[in-house]
Amino acid sequence: MSQKKTALVVCPGRGSYNRPELGYIQQHLPAASPFRQQLYEFDALRTELELPTVTELDSAASFSNGRHIKAENAAALIFSAGLADFSQINRDKFDIVAVTGNSMGWYTALGCAGVWQGRDSMQLVTSMAQLTAGAAGAQFIYPLLNSDWQLDIDKQARLAEQLYLHQGALFMSIAYGGYAVLAGTQSAVQQAMQALPPCDERFPLLLPGHAAFHSPLMQPAADQALARFAEPLFATPQLPLIDGRGVIWPSQLAQPSALKAYTLGQQVCDTFNFSRAIQVAVKEFAPEHIILLGPGSSLGGAVAQSLIAINWQGLSSKQDFSRAQQNDSPFILSMGLPEQRQLIL
């Protein structure tokens, strides 16, 4: 039998369940999967909370913006889809060396690593979505790269200028590969979006249904979460985790109390540096593959851009990355892409 390959697992953030992903869980989760019992428990909890179940949302006849993008529903779908995908990674093919995620993907990573477990994990995901969505502000995304995925100094300078002009009201929310996600008050976000030159016919792009995540405007939500949830809801991780600062939490050793303080406190209110998390993960664990969990396949570009920024394995441009992905066993494997999913199962 062929030798196992080492793999870093990466979990997507809040915006990854969209119209094309409707039915993702039902489509990809085998009827006999042991994860179905977990899904049943998630559904039972959400019924108790008088919220639509994950199964009901995922198997809806059509996608509804009002229903599917609503924070506590989107978060539940993304968390469940990520864990369902994680449960299907073939452990005879892959040795998972670490887990990380983008923004809300940190919660999925905690679920994959066994820090959050059972019904409690869905309670935490749902409650955190409600607390943070109820907070102030907005989020938008803006690219910092040229068309070949190399840093554009002019775009970087213009973004820095907006952060300077709106100090205390506009913040770097997520460093997402070649993109900056900014968060701030409605007014600061609106002014910055008007000031930044449009590019690629899409940007600056307001993220619908998003509050000022990963910024000081989230402090009231963090305070409520820290007061509401007890430390026993956090367990010692069974796999190494890399957080939004690029800090490694070792398996079997990381303290649940520290994980609680970071996850419900600092992580909610500070910049989430996804790029650094990816860069630290590949440098420290040197995985032979990066496996991107679903739903969707939106992480690929940001992960590749994070690798290009440090010239990982000689990657220096979009062209380099495209070539590297075209062999029989690509470095980055996305469970949201059918042809790559087959290589993981």
Cα–Cα dist 156/170, whole Å? 15
pLDDT of residue 15: 85
The CATH number of domain 5-134+218-344, selected from 1.10.10.60, 3.90.1520.10, 2.40.50.140, 3.40.366.10: 3.40.366.10
The pLDDT confidence band at residue 2, using thresholds 50, 70 and 90, is low
Whether residue 327 has pLDDT greater than 80: no
Cα–Cα dist 248/97, whole Å? 12
Digit-coded pLDDT (tens) for 228-254: 999 999 999 999 999 999 999 999 999
Whether residue 275 has pLDDT greater than 70: yes
pLDDT of residue 137: 96
Tell me what the mean pLDDT of segment 142-146 comes to. 95
pLDDT of residue 326: 80
State the sign of the Cα–Cα–Cα–Cα dihedral 109, 292, 309, 194.
Answer: negative
Digit-coded pLDDT (tens) for 164-178: 999 999 999 999 999
Cα–Cα dist 243/237, whole Å? 13
All CATH 3.40.366.10 domain ranges in the chain, comma separated: 5-134+218-344
Tell me what the mean pLDDT of segment 213-236 comes to. 96
Digit-coded pLDDT (tens) for 183-215: 999 999 999 999 999 998 999 999 988 899 999
pLDDT of residue 209: 81
The arrangement of secondary structure in 138-212, i.e. its CATH architecture, is 2-Layer Sandwich (3.30)
pLDDT of residue 324: 86
What does each C-alpha distance from 173 to 68, 169, 180, 210, 212 come to in angstroms? 23, 12, 8, 12, 8
Could you tell me the pTM of the whole model? 0.96
All CATH 3.30.70 domain ranges in the chain, comma separated: 138-212
The pLDDT confidence band at residue 1, using thresholds 50, 70 and 90, is very low
Question: Would you say 140 and 204 are in contact if contact means Cβ atoms under 8 Å apart?
Answer: yes
Q: pLDDT > 90: what percent of the chain?
A: 91
Cα–Cα dist 188/166, whole Å? 6
